Structure 1
Amino acid sequence: MSMKWLTGNSSKSGRRLRQILLVSLCGAMMMTAGCSLLPKEDAEEVLPTITPPKISQKPEYEVTKGTIETKVTASGRLMSQQEETMFFTADGKRIKNVLVKNGDKVTQGQVLVVLDMEDMQKDLRKKKLAFRKDEINMKETLRQKDQMDPVEFEQASIVFEESRQAITDLENEIAKGTLVAPFSGTIVSLNAEKGALVKAYDPIAIVADTSRLAVAASVTKDDLKQIAVGMEVNVDINTVGKTLKGKVKQLPQAKDDSGNGGSGGGQKPEKLEDFLLVQLDNLPKGLTRGTPLSIAVITLRRDNVVIIPQSALRSIGSRTYVQVVDENGKREVDVEVGQQSTTDVEIVKGLTPGQKVVGR
């Protein structure tokens, strides 16, 4: 009887244990299923590494020894050493004929442009006919000279000479209506058209000897004060791939600022004397008149001096200084300045070659 009881209790305990295990298993399965139904979490965003900006570092320059030059620069062009601007002094006349064109070769005395002077030529013919009568009257006056009052005879002589001079003056004015080549050369500029009105002293043509060229540049009055004949010049011609060496040959003539360059308000003809001329050591072949160029006149040069860039020089009030950098860091050093160019500064006192200075 005691055996049954033990067996009965054992079977009940086993069923209870199986129930507990079954409940636990179901709970685990439900938890797993529940997790699979939840939405997936987004992957964590990877943020880029932010690098703080570097503070800009100012440039450093080494103090050196070298050459410093002060220059005056100007622009110009190649011009002929012998050229002349042709113009009429008559005003309001029309061009009757143009006998040349731009680029033509001409010889000395060759007719270039002719004005219509028909009205003056008619007047000249009338004056010559009237003068023939005056000559007849003058011959009769000479025959009667001894019987005439000296004053009366003198007055007659003056009238006769005035008539003759009027004819000569008119002939000269008519002759001015014809432009002729002053020397053998080339027509390098022509501003004339048949039938056009001319203004006194306006350029009509330029005759030049293109086989003889000169370096000519326009210089301001202030710059001209620093330049003297014989100074070294660097010349850059547009069609030449290198800098040419030369010297100042001639300074421009002083210009008349009074505004009296020519009657009639015409343009003042351009002359070679109006420019600074440079004598080149060697003028390349194949150059043409009118080619643009630039020059740099060396007005002052110092060799073997201590120099730094302009950007390294600092000033406050009357104080001039630089920032020197070495193994101990930066420090300010007062300096004494000498010659200066557009890029460099001569340091007379305060620095030695090999040191480093900080730019602005």
Structure 2
Amino acid sequence: MTVLRWSDVPGKKRWRRVALVAIVLGGLAGGLLGLNRAPDVSPPQTARVDRGDIEKSVLATGILKPARQVNVGAQVNGQLKKLYVKPGDRVAQGQLLAEIDPTLQLNELRKSQAELRSAQAQKLASQAQLKQYQLELARQRALARDRAGVASDLEKAQAQHDAQLAQLKVNESQIVQAEVAQETARANLAFTRITAPIDGEVLGIVTQEGQTIVSSQSAPTILVMADVDTMMVHTRISENDILQVRAGQPLWFYVAADPRRRYEGVMGAIQQAPAEALEADPLGRNSSQQTAAVYYNGVFAVANGERRLRTSMTAQVFIITERATGVVRLPMAALGEALDGERYQISVLEGQRVVARSVRIGKRDRRYAEVLEGVRVGEQVLLEHQSDTEGEHVS
């Protein structure tokens, strides 16, 4: 048998064999240590029993709208000559917003003034002519009493007098018509100056400078303004929850643009029928095909002094149907097996031991349950399961 000595092995092969032996021995040692090491056990999650508020609420979606919004339009034709505001401007009632070229309206006013003067002059002429016919009629009547006149002359004088009296009434009517036309022309001239109907903010410009406005059929909108000091939240309440909701209930909401800020409010009016049922022809649709969910509209007001709430923002509304303040509470995730209607089994940490207890539960919401008996404030309870309300908005 040939014995290979360590010195006979070439240098590169020698070190390669050393590395291989080291790897094998290291793997065996690691395996033995792994068999003897206890598996990692994560500590149980616990929570402290505390005092706080419990709010049972109905969740609804709402849309923000101004308390008062006005489409400011034009009542006369013409070219939009000048805009004096821009979106976001605060304006006062009566403030000049825009101006339409008044050329057409000025011409109409001058025309109506001329027609009025003409009608007044015709009335004066008719009055003078009537006076002449009155004198002639009186003369013919005197001749007839003296039997010195001709009957046909009296009849002619009477006819001329009556005709001229009627003409005078026509002239008076023409004056009234001319006065009305003049008032209309003055009003149309005033309509070329568009003023703010309310105190508020300009939401947007619809018609730009230089555009021609035609108001023959409907008043075209020049700009939209609104009173945004108070916003109205129009809320859609599911038919599953509508019987729990009533006017006067407290509520809070947040908007998608600022989910960390909580706004307080009180539910206002609630429609007694869904919006679809209030349409002009609710019976025209096939009720068997109505598979969409039914929602009732509720509306409430909220102050907007900081101007953080804007038109058409989406709000998540929490209508509080039941509330308990300053009660002993524990997380819903701490509740274990239900023993009866009000009693649940929970696990309480006493020193290094976990002890099972029975607790009686009162009001509850999505996160907490009120404890009527069974544990005290400050005790630690084990969370039996992960809460299914993770991701819920917390104010």
Q: Please give the range of the TM-score, normalised by the shorter of the 2 chains.
A: 0.5 to 0.7
Contact 1:336-1:347 at 8 Å conserved across structures? yes
Match of 2:323 in 1: 301
Q: Is 1:87 paired with 2:87?
A: no
Aligned equivalents of 2:210, 2:43: Cα separation in 1: 71
2:45 to 59, 68, 76: 59
Contact 1:219-1:276 at 8 Å conserved across structures? no
Give 1:68 shift. Answer: 1.7
Q: Is 1:69 paired with 2:69?
A: no
Q: For 2:223, give the aligned amino acid.
A: I
Contact 2:77-2:212 at 8 Å conserved across structures? yes
Query: Within 5 A, what are the aligned runs for 1:188-207?
Result: 191=205, 193-197=208-212, 200=219, 202=221, 204=223, 206=225
Q: For 1:325, give the aligned amino acid.
A: S
Q: Is 1:122 paired with 2:107?
A: yes
Give 1:178 shift. Answer: 0.7
Give 1:46 shift. Answer: 1.8
Normalised by the length of structure 1, the TM-score is: 0.52
Task: Deviation per CA, 1:265-317: give whole Å up to 9, x if none.
Answer: xxxxxxxxx971349xxxxxxx864577999887753124342324445799x
Q: Could you say what the CA RMSD is over the residues aligned between the two structures, in angstroms? A: 6.0
Aligned equivalents of 2:361, 2:164: Cα separation in 1: 93
Give 1:95 shift. Answer: 1.0
Q: Is 1:172 paired with 2:216?
A: no
Query: Within 5 A, what are the aligned runs for 1:303-322?
Result: 303-312=325-334, 322=344
Distance 1:358 1:158, change over 3 A: farther
Give 1:141 shift. Answer: 5.8
Q: Is 1:277 paired with 2:302?
A: yes
Match of 1:262 in 2: none
2:363 to 327, 338, 341: 338
Higher Rg: 1
Pairs aligned (count): 295
Task: Deviation per CA, 1:28-81: give whole Å up to 9, x if none.
Answer: xx865568657765312422455786577763434444322356899999x9x9
Give 1:96 shift. Answer: 0.8
Contact 1:86-1:179 at 8 Å conserved across structures? no
Give 1:97 shift. Answer: 1.8
Normalised by the length of structure 2, the TM-score is: 0.49
Query: Within 5 A, what are the aligned runs for 1:206-245?
Result: 206=225, 214=229, 216=231, 218-222=233-237
Distance 1:163 1:320, change over 3 A: farther
> SS at the partner of 1:61?
strand
Give 1:121 shift. Answer: 3.4
Residue ranges of structure 1 left out of the alignment (5+ in a row): 1-29, 260-273, 280-286
Q: For 1:114, give the aligned amino acid.
A: E
Distance 1:177 1:251, change over 3 A: farther
Contact 1:120-1:174 at 8 Å conserved across structures? yes
Contact 2:78-2:104 at 8 Å conserved across structures? no
Aligned equivalents of 1:141, 1:275: Cα separation in 2: 67
Aligned equivalents of 1:289, 1:35: Cα separation in 2: 88
Match of 1:111 in 2: 96
Aligned equivalents of 1:328, 1:276: Cα separation in 2: 50
Aligned equivalents of 1:314, 1:161: Cα separation in 2: 90
Residue ranges of structure 2 left out of the alignment (5+ in a row): 131-159, 280-298, 387-395
Distance 1:243 1:102, change over 3 A: closer
Task: Deviation per CA, 1:84-125: give whole Å up to 9, x if none.
Answer: 867224377431123456788978755331012433433343
Match of 1:46 in 2: 26
